[in-house]
Structure 1
Amino acid sequence: MTELGQARKLRNYIAGEFKDAADGRTTEIINPATGEVYATAPLSGQADVDAAMEAAAAAFPAWRDTTPAERQRALLKIADAFEERAEELIAAESENTGKPLGLTRSEEIPPMVDQIRFFAGAARMLEGRSAGEYMEGLTSFVRREPIGVCAQVAPWNYPMMMGVWKFAPALAAGNTVVLKPSDTTPASTVLMAEIIGSIVPKGVFNVICGDRDTGRAMVEHPTPAMASITGSVRAGMQVAESAAKDLKRVHLELGGKAPVLVFQDADIAAAAAGISEAGFFNAGQDCTAATRVLVHESVHDDFVTALAKAAADTKTGQPDDEDVLYGPLNNADQLAKVSGFIDRLPAHAKVEAGGHRVGDKGYFYAPTVVSGLKQDDEIIQNEVFGPVITVQSFTDEDQALAYANGVEYALASSVWTKDHGRAMRLSRHLDFGCVWINTHIPLVAEMPHGGFKKSGYGKDLSAYGFDDYTRVKHVMTSLES
């Protein structure tokens, strides 16, 4: 709130200027740590989408024709500016999400800056097959080019970081961007627009705020050549359906239900500690969160005891509390969703820790462990997206693999064992885009992030993620002329 007790006013960023929605509509933005309104944001409509797309399209030819070195310099300046204004970004993100200030400072700003710098380097490392004479008298070579205008939609669980994952490779490749943050978390994205807009030409980077209808209008707009979304499976399917109408490229990073396989030779104490942190971090609001543990029957009880203790020792609370691991769930609907999963647990399930809301202010939920579950239980098959870790037991490696792969999601997984051969076998057969061994959740800019099945397609991060924002053109020339 401002000093006058009025909510702060956020605005769209289009063609280098901050603007209200064309029809003046706004929506209230709530701080999930307090449950109180702290800002208003535009509820953008078709006219706003049109204006943003027009700006991005107008800026594209000149940005496309910049050299890789020029784009690299721009991204490096953006990374430096993010570092210099880190405290502003942290404050905005904490208001957005209720995340702990200290953890946002240590766990989000450094990788965001590193990822921008990685893509700055990638801009100058475009790869293609060497030119050659594959037919007599003719020389062929490959051009790798930017796609055009990219319509991008970021989620509410990591508004800043997912924004970076989208705009950095797109701009590095020579595309222009229209980015929409989630309707519940626009503050940090609007601040990023201010920073980025001071560095790149007007129209290269645009931000419009709004709801699902705004996002749908972006995807259905005839201007973008690509639509990219990080969100729910339902949202991804809707984007794919809308994009299919004019054959836009689609980049989807959707839900997850990561299996965590703990074998009898694992260090149980270390596994429980690592899995607890990877499951509860960010209130479990992470598509890769370690939320579905499969543990060998011989060590099941010991593991559950250790995990329940780790949960009991985990603290949630206000952003300025340095002792908390995570803050609130993002919104009232998400709190109701997580609570509903626990309320509907079958009789054979047992809540070993947590299982309840914390306090009556904000959307906090206790670190929760549930055991005694079966493979076809709702909470095993569906993404909870909250601080809830489930535990199942298995008898052997084949059953563990069957349980692990027996869901519709396929984003991330981990194996906890001292047996190298077992780890290698499972890394081959686990049907997930990432397999960690004796750890869970670390990401690096150089390695791809993305899933299979209903977790979507396309890669974030790495050279693979950069390639997704380019197109390949074959050029052939006669040697006779």
Structure 2
Amino acid sequence: MFEYAPAPESRSIVDLAPSYGLFIDGEFAAPADGGVFKTVNPATEEVLSEVSVAGPADVDRAVAAARRAFAGWSALPGAARAKYLYRIARIVQERSRELAVLESLDNGKPIREARDVDLPLVAAHFFYYAGWADKLAYAGYGTTPLGVVGQVIPWNFPLLMLAWKIAPALATGNTVVLKPAETTPLSALFFADVCRQAELPPGVVNIVTGAGDTGRTLVEHPDVNKVAFTGSTEVGRQIARSVAGTGKRVTLELGGKAANIVFDDAPIDQAVEGIVNGIFFNQGHVCCAGSRLLVQENVYDEVLDSLKRRMAQLRVGDPLDKNTDIGAINSSVQLERVRALAAVGEQEGERWSPPCELPGQGFWFAPTIFTGVSQTHRIAREEVFGPVLAVLTFRTPAEAVEKANNTPYGLSAGIWSEKGSRILAVADKLRAGVVWANTFNRFDPASPFGGYKESGYGREGGRHGLEAYLA
């Protein structure tokens, strides 16, 4: 095997300020009560910058700014709004290298993923919804925007989740107050600068940083007309309870425990690549990760041997190295959760990780699989949100469907088979919002995404993504 020489991406393209304010009404402003927190690089634990905490008074200011801007923004012809969205998309493309490096620094994800997956998709979402802005009459959901939208996004795809939320909201004529995750606020603050560069009218996009309290204040604000949230099922439940009876519209994109089903006629090498991409992409910090592998019994040994060989080739380490496959876990809190569930899994099944040297500084976890797992095991039922795969077997397509659906979640699934008829028959029976066939973790702005059951409700992306933002 070739030894890879380090190929680090330069950090010099990102100019980080020592501290950042809140982005309200087109300007950066200090928080009313002066609260701050530090955001760190999960790969090194180095402090990157100091970020403001938005209190109730700041959220009030942001919502008021969005309300003032709404009249003018919603009155613009769709084609005029589209111009701003196209402009944002082009600026994101122009600054994509800078934003990709920033995302890797703040999130811990490999630069290869930030550069080749996240940033192209961010631009694509703005381009896609810019195209819808003057065609809302043909989408089938009306043309009347809701008003001020409060959006709360997670730390696993900070800039991509921002694009998923902001692009359809602006295209439909709404104004936005967005709260990024506490551990990954920087790309949202850089996006504020993109909005200024695109000369977006002040108040159309506002960004308030902080932790759970800031998010709660935004969600419960009486002048917010719609709430969009991506994150854990537990927080999603709290949000659903808090907005019940208020007349606010809400979409929730929550957790998952997706089944990746491999039939005996599947192309094994291709399937193994899909399994690896399904669970180890972005360190398993993916709500639709293929974290349960269901393998037909008669090819189990072959699939497992091939999977272990492939996992032994994965390179864990510096996220800014272009050769890195698996970066750092996003935070010490998340690392503890992954470790705790892996320890439970060790008592339930058989644990295996390829030999790999983890860096001494930062938050790291080796790619791990558990075999000998049954459906009642916690490792097969709870969302780990890390690079941990539970492997189960099945004999018949009916058993595969039954096991795949035996989960409180219903976000995504994957099917590997060379028979199109089998793929369609099985996909039809799976209770999952997205089903991939002979691939996994592929996203397109024209394709709707969302789940059933405890994975939330509502769809993001595609024509369907407009519905939640129109009255």
TM range (shorter): over 0.9
Amino acid corresponding to residue 77 of structure 2 in structure 1: T
How far residue 348 of structure 1 moved from its aligned partner, in angstroms, is: 5.0
Which is further off, 400-409 or 101-110?
101-110
Give, in whole Å, the separation in 1 of the partners of 2:216 and 2:163. 21
Q: Within the alignment, does 1:83 sit opposite 2:68 as a pair? A: no
After TM superposition, the runs of 4+ consecutive aligned structure 1 residues lying more than 4 A away are 354-357
Amino acid corresponding to residue 470 of structure 1 in structure 2: L
Give the equivalent residue in structure 2 for 1:228: 228
Give the equivalent residue in structure 2 for 1:12: 22
Give, in whole Å, the separation in 1 of the partners of 2:106 and 2:53. 17
Give the equivalent residue in structure 2 for 1:365: 365
Give, in whole Å, the separation in 1 of the partners of 2:310 and 2:407. 27
How far residue 180 of structure 1 moved from its aligned partner, in angstroms, is: 0.4
Which is further off, 386-395 or 119-128?
119-128
* Equivalent residues in 2 for 1:210-225, closer than 5 Å: 210-225=210-225
Which of the numbers 43, 47, 59 marks the counterpart of 2:53? 43
Distance 1:227 1:429, change over 3 A: same
Give the equivalent residue in structure 2 for 1:262: 262
How far residue 355 of structure 1 moved from its aligned partner, in angstroms, is: 9.5
Give, in whole Å, the separation in 2 of the partners of 1:325 and 1:35. 20
Give the equivalent residue in structure 1 for 2:36: 26
Answer whether contact 1:76 1:116 (CA < 8 A) is retained. yes
How far residue 291 of structure 1 moved from its aligned partner, in angstroms, is: 1.5
How far residue 129 of structure 1 moved from its aligned partner, in angstroms, is: 9.3
* Equivalent residues in 2 for 1:391-410, closer than 5 Å: 391-410=391-410
- What do the CA deviations read for 1:401-452 (whole angstroms, capped 9, x no partner)? 1110000110000111112222111111000001111111111111101111
How far residue 109 of structure 1 moved from its aligned partner, in angstroms, is: 1.3
Give the equivalent residue in structure 2 for 1:201: 201
Give the equivalent residue in structure 2 for 1:425: 425
- SS of the aligned residue for 1:196 comes to helix
How far residue 278 of structure 1 moved from its aligned partner, in angstroms, is: 2.2
Give the equivalent residue in structure 1 for 2:301: 301
- What do the CA deviations read for 1:316-352 (whole angstroms, capped 9, x no partner)? 2112212111211100011111111111125451113
Give, in whole Å, the separation in 1 of the partners of 2:222 and 2:110. 40
Q: Within the alignment, does 1:60 sit opposite 2:63 as a pair? A: no
Which of the numbers 72, 80, 83 marks the counterpart of 1:70? 80
- SS of the aligned residue for 1:369 comes to strand
- SS of the aligned residue for 1:441 comes to coil
Distance 1:191 1:347, change over 3 A: closer
Which of the numbers 121, 126, 129 marks the counterpart of 1:116? 126
Amino acid corresponding to residue 115 of structure 1 in structure 2: H
Q: Which one has a larger percent strand, Structure 1 or Structure 2? A: 1
CA RMSD of superposed structures (Å): 1.9
Q: Within the alignment, does 1:189 sit opposite 2:183 as a pair? A: no
Amino acid corresponding to residue 111 of structure 1 in structure 2: L
Amino acid corresponding to residue 289 of structure 2 in structure 1: A
How far residue 245 of structure 1 moved from its aligned partner, in angstroms, is: 4.5
How far residue 101 of structure 1 moved from its aligned partner, in angstroms, is: 2.2
Answer whether contact 1:152 1:179 (CA < 8 A) is retained. yes
Amino acid corresponding to residue 17 of structure 1 in structure 2: E
How far residue 127 of structure 1 moved from its aligned partner, in angstroms, is: 3.4
Give the equivalent residue in structure 1 for 2:441: 441
Structure 2, gaps ≥5 residues long: 1-10
Amino acid corresponding to residue 359 of structure 1 in structure 2: P
Task: Report the TM-score when normalising by structure 2.
Answer: 0.94
> What number of residue pairs does the alignment pair up?
457
- SS of the aligned residue for 1:116 comes to helix
Give, in whole Å, the separation in 2 of the partners of 1:376 and 1:346. 14
- SS of the aligned residue for 2:335 comes to helix
Give, in whole Å, the separation in 2 of the partners of 1:149 and 1:393. 48
Amino acid corresponding to residue 105 of structure 1 in structure 2: R
- SS of the aligned residue for 1:299 comes to helix
Give the equivalent residue in structure 1 for 2:152: 153
Answer whether contact 1:159 1:185 (CA < 8 A) is retained. yes
Distance 1:7 1:361, change over 3 A: farther
Give, in whole Å, the separation in 1 of the partners of 2:246 and 2:325. 44
How far residue 267 of structure 1 moved from its aligned partner, in angstroms, is: 1.4
Which is further off, 271-280 or 376-385?
271-280
- SS of the aligned residue for 2:81 comes to helix
How far residue 47 of structure 1 moved from its aligned partner, in angstroms, is: 0.5
Structure 1, gaps ≥5 residues long: 131-141, 472-481
Q: Within the alignment, does 1:125 sit opposite 2:124 as a pair? A: no
How far residue 143 of structure 1 moved from its aligned partner, in angstroms, is: 4.5
How far residue 359 of structure 1 moved from its aligned partner, in angstroms, is: 2.9
Distance 1:162 1:143, change over 3 A: closer
Amino acid corresponding to residue 271 of structure 2 in structure 1: A
How far residue 270 of structure 1 moved from its aligned partner, in angstroms, is: 1.7
Give, in whole Å, the separation in 1 of the partners of 2:253 and 2:354. 30
Answer whether contact 1:409 1:452 (CA < 8 A) is retained. yes
Answer whether contact 1:357 1:364 (CA < 8 A) is retained. no
- What do the CA deviations read for 1:172-195 (whole angstroms, capped 9, x no partner)? 000000000001100000000111
Give the equivalent residue in structure 2 for 1:285: 285
Give the equivalent residue in structure 2 for 1:475: none
How far residue 22 of structure 1 moved from its aligned partner, in angstroms, is: 0.7
Give, in whole Å, the separation in 1 of the partners of 2:17 and 2:469. 37
- What do the CA deviations read for 1:271-291 (whole angstroms, capped 9, x no partner)? 112211221010010111122
Give, in whole Å, the separation in 2 of the partners of 1:208 and 1:218. 9
Q: Within the alignment, does 1:323 sit opposite 2:315 as a pair? A: no
Identity, % of aligned pairs?
Answer: 38
- What do the CA deviations read for 1:129-154 (whole angstroms, capped 9, x no partner)? 99xxxxxxxxxxx9421010000011
Amino acid corresponding to residue 174 of structure 2 in structure 1: N
- What do the CA deviations read for 1:377-412 (whole angstroms, capped 9, x no partner)? 001111011111111011211111111000011000
How far residue 91 of structure 1 moved from its aligned partner, in angstroms, is: 2.5
Give, in whole Å, the separation in 2 of the partners of 1:454 and 1:354. 33
Give the equivalent residue in structure 2 for 1:176: 175
Amino acid corresponding to residue 27 of structure 2 in structure 1: E
Which is further off, 194-203 or 376-385?
194-203
Amino acid corresponding to residue 407 of structure 2 in structure 1: V
Q: Within the alignment, does 1:106 sit opposite 2:105 as a pair? A: no
Give, in whole Å, the separation in 1 of the partners of 2:335 and 2:207. 28
Amino acid corresponding to residue 193 of structure 1 in structure 2: A
Give, in whole Å, the separation in 2 of the partners of 1:314 and 1:366. 10
